[in-house]
A and B are shown apart, each in its own frame.
Chain A
Amino acid sequence: MLTVLSVEVRKLNRSLALVLAATAPALIAVFVFSMLLRSKTPSEWDMWIGSGMAIWAYFMMPLCVAALTALVAHMEHGPRSWDHLRALPVPRWTLYAAKAVCVIALVLIMSAAVLGATIGAVALGGLIKPEAAAMGVLDLTGYAWSMARMAAAALLMIAIQFWTAIRFASFVPGLALGIGGTFFAVVATSARQGVFMPWQMPVNILATEAWRVQTALTLGGGLGLVVLAAAVLHLARREGR
Chain B
Amino acid sequence: MTVPDHSVYGVLGRNGAGKTTTMKMLTGLLRPSSGVARVCGVDVVKDRRGAARKIGALLEAHGFYGHLSGRENLDLTRRLLGLATTEVDRVLDVVDMTRDGGRRVGDYSLGMRQRLGIARALLGSPPVLMLDEPTNGLDPDGIADMRHFLRELPIRAGATVLLSSHLLGEIEQTATHVGVIHQGRLVVEGELARLKAELAPEIGLRVDDPARARAVLRSRDLTLSDDADGLVAQLRPGDNHDQVCAALNRDLVAAGVAVFSIGARAPSLEGVYRAASAVSRRPVSEPV
A residues bordering B, Cβ < 8 Å? 3-4, 6-7, 10-11, 13-15, 75-76, 78-91, 239-240
B253 interfacial contact with A, CB 8 Å: no
The answer to whether B55 touches A87, judged by C-beta atoms less than 8 angstroms apart, is: yes
A14 and B67 contact, CB distance less than 8 A: yes
CB-based contact A88/B67 at 8 Å: no
Tell me if B28 is interfacial: C-beta within 8 Å of chain A.
Answer: yes
Q: Are B80 and A87 in contact (CB under 8 A)?
A: no
Closest to B82 in A: A3
Alpha-carbon distance A80/B20, docked complex (angstroms): 15
Interface flags, B4-41, vs A, CB<8A=1, else 0: 00000000000000000000100111110000000000
- B254 interface contact, C-beta 8 A: no
With a cutoff of 8 Å between Cβ atoms, the chain B residues found around residue A84 in the complex are 57, 59, 61-63, 77, 120
On chain A, the residues within 8 Å of B50 by CB distance are 89
Name the distance in Å between A20's Cβ and chain B's nearest Cβ. 14
When C-beta atoms are compared, the residue in chain A nearest to B59 turns out to be: A83
Q: Is the CB of A11 within 8 A of B68?
A: yes
Q: Are A6 and B29 in contact (CB under 8 A)?
A: no
* A125 CB to nearest B CB, Å: 36
A13's contact among B64, B68, B77, by CB below 8 Å, is which?
Answer: B68
Check A11 against B29 for contact (C-beta < 8 Å).
Answer: no
- CB neighbours (8 Å) of B80 from chain A are 3-4, 7, 85, 88, 90
Chain B residues with CB under 8 Å of A76's CB are: 63
Please state if B59 and A87 are interface contacts (CB–CB under 8 Å). yes
Shortest B66–chain A CB gap in Å is 7
Q: A14-B68, A79-B66, A89-B50 are in contact. List 11 more A-B contacts (CB 8 A).
A: A10-B72, A79-B62, A81-B62, A82-B63, A83-B61, A84-B59, A87-B29, A87-B52, A87-B57, A89-B53, A239-B31
Inter-chain CA distance A39–B29, complex, in Å, is 60
A10, closest chain B residue (CB): B76
Chain A residues with CB under 8 Å of B65's CB are: 11, 75, 79, 81
Task: Tell whether, in the assembled complex, residue A83 and residue B52 are in contact, meaning their CB atoms are under 8 Å apart.
Answer: no
Chain A residues closer than 8 Å to B76, beta-carbon distance: 7, 10-11
Contacts of B24 in A (CB 8 A): 83
- Interchain pairs with CB closer than 8 A, number: 83
Give the docked Cα–Cα distance between A82 and B76 (Å): 14
Q: Which 9 A-B pairs have the closest CB atoms?
A: A81-B63, A80-B61, A84-B63, A89-B52, A87-B27, A89-B49, A89-B53, A83-B59, A79-B63
Which single residue of chain A is at the shortest CB-CB distance from B64?
A79
Chain A residues whose C-beta falls within 8 Å of the C-beta of B281 in the assembled complex? none
Complex Cα spacing A174 to B62, Å: 24
Q: Are A83 and B64 in contact (CB under 8 A)?
A: no
Cβ < 8 Å to A, chain B residues 46-87: 48-50, 52-53, 55, 57, 59-68, 72, 75-77, 79-82
Chain B min CB distance to A195 (Å): 40
Contacts of B64 in A (CB 8 A): 79, 81
Question: What residues of B have a CB within 8 angstroms of the CB of A82 in the complex?
Answer: 63
Per the bound structure, the CA–CA distance linking A7 and B80 in Å amounts to 7
Binding site for A on B (CB under 8 A): 24, 27-31, 48-50, 52-53, 55, 57, 59-68, 72, 75-77, 79-82, 120
> Could you say which of B28, B48, B65 has the most chain A C-beta atoms within 10 Å of its C-beta?
B65
Name the residue on B nearest A85 (C-beta).
B63
Of B67, B77, B82, chain A has the most CB atoms within 10 Å of the CB of B67
With A3-B80, A6-B79, A86-B29 given, is the CB distance from A81 to B61 under 8 Å? Answer: yes
Instruction: Name 11 A/B residue pairs within 8 A (Cβ), A-sorted.
Output: A3-B79, A3-B82, A11-B68, A13-B67, A13-B72, A81-B61, A83-B63, A87-B57, A88-B77, A89-B53, A240-B29
Contact flag A91-B49 (CB < 8 Å), given A3-B82, A7-B79? yes
> Closest Cβ of chain B: how far from A12's Cβ, in Å?
10
Nearest A residue to B58 via CB reads A84
**Residues of A contacting B27 in the complex (Cβ-Cβ under 8 angstroms):** 83, 87
Known: A4-B80, A13-B68, A88-B77. A239 touches B30 (CB 8 A): yes
A3: nearest residue on chain B (CB-CB)? B79
Point out the residue from B31, B49, B60, B120 that lies within 8 Å of A90, measured CB to CB: B49
CB distance from B30 to the nearest CB of A (A): 6
A238 smallest CB distance to B (angstroms): 11
Q: How far is the CA of A7 from the CA of B79 in the complex (A)?
A: 7
A-side contacts of B62, CB under 8 Å: 79-81, 84
- Give A4 to B80 CA distance when docked, in angstroms: 6
State A89–B124 Cα separation when bound (angstroms): 12
Q: What residue in chain A is nearest B67 (Cβ atoms)? A: A14
